[in-house]
Amino acid sequence: MKQVKTIAVAFFFATIFTANAQDSIERVVETSTTAGHWSHLPIWGDRVEALGYKLPAPIGIGLYFNDQTMPYEATSDFSLGANGGLLGGSNIYIPKGDVRIDGRDQSLQLRADAWLFPFLNVYGLLGYTKGHKDIVANTENVEIPGRPLLEGMLQAAGSITIPIEYEATNVGLGAVLAGQIDPFDWHPFIMTAVGAYTVARTTATDNNIYTTIGAFKIGQRYSVPGGQLAGLVGITYQRVDQNMKGSYSFKGTDLERLIESVNYNVNLQSAETINMALTMVYDFGYAEEWSFMMEYGFLNWNQFTLSLGRRF
């Protein structure tokens, strides 16, 4: 995966800086892209195209693959109800500051969108996610009132790790504001601002994952063989909130003598919310109706996204 990410970034920079500047001038539209479209979208599209701007076909559908690894933090104390073993029947509470959570999600999303106005796109998401989270709780300072001997044994264990595998289905809604500026009278900069909200229902932990996303990107678009290539750099806001509740068995582990299984409950959220991203978009086809997107997120968590879409 690291090699793929390196190739993606290298391709991004190589293509942008070797593109022929002469070919990068915006082409004046000879025939309208959206005039007479059955959807009558986008509103005011004919006026914008009359000014010489080329608009994409208004309706789109795409398939997105996303791979994300990020840290989380507990927002509530880690509650453990012990079943079996020497601690059977005990309720154990570990302070949220002593809990560390790491997770990785891989998702496949189907996205349908429409340009309502030349500057406003709205979209809906339907997706599937396969995820993994490791909850690591430090037990060195744990307290179990009335059971000092067992408390000492749990403190000596050092930590409790609960690995959780889950699947989830999600729905989401989002909007994109888009525009361009040409402050140097050279070649316009394209800008996009994105806002989205998704709700995912997990199967293993029987709870919801709520994700709020915001992003701002700026870059340029160039004529290249076969179509148009855009390169953008941006900043991303992403917050994930989740309540994780379930049970886990320690049978066959070093903790089995103390605890055979636990019922756990903890609230968590993403430890970091700000990230950077490099994005490449290649539009190709007879009327540039096909689009390939590749994005690499870095700084506070690693994220890699690929998509293929078509516009109608």
Dump pLDDT digits (tens) for 162-192.
999 999 999 999 999 999 999 888 899 999 9
Q: What is the pTM of this model?
A: 0.84
Please check the confidence at residue 33 and state whether its pLDDT lies above 80.
no
Place of tokens 């999303």: 109
pLDDT for 207 equals: 83
Task: List Cα–Cα distances, 86 to 142, 150, 156, 302, in angstroms.
Answer: 16, 7, 15, 41
Please check the confidence at residue 19 and state whether its pLDDT lies above 50.
no
Domain total in the chain: 1
Q: Identify the burial level of 18 via C-beta atoms within 10 angstroms of its C-beta, where 0-12 means exposed, 13-18 middle and 19 or more buried.
A: exposed
Report the percent of the chain where pLDDT is more than 70: 88
pLDDT for 179 equals: 93
Q: Write out the residue range of the structural domain in which residue 58 sits.
A: 2-311
Give how far the C-alpha of residue 291 lies from the chain's centroid of Cα atoms, to the nearest Å.
19
Greater confidence, 219 or 23?
A: 219
Q: How far apart are CA 109 and CA 82, in angstroms?
A: 38
Give how far the C-alpha of residue 12 lies from the chain's centroid of Cα atoms, to the nearest Å.
20
- SS3 category, 10: helix
Q: What is the pLDDT of residues 240-266, one digit of tens each?
A: 999 999 999 999 998 899 999 999 999
Q: Can you tell me the mean pLDDT for 102-112? A: 97
Please check the confidence at residue 15 and state whether its pLDDT lies above 70.
no
Q: How far apart are CA 296 and CA 309, in angstroms?
A: 18
pLDDT band at 16 (very low <50, low <70, confident <90, very high): very low
Please check the confidence at residue 1 and state whether its pLDDT lies above 80.
no
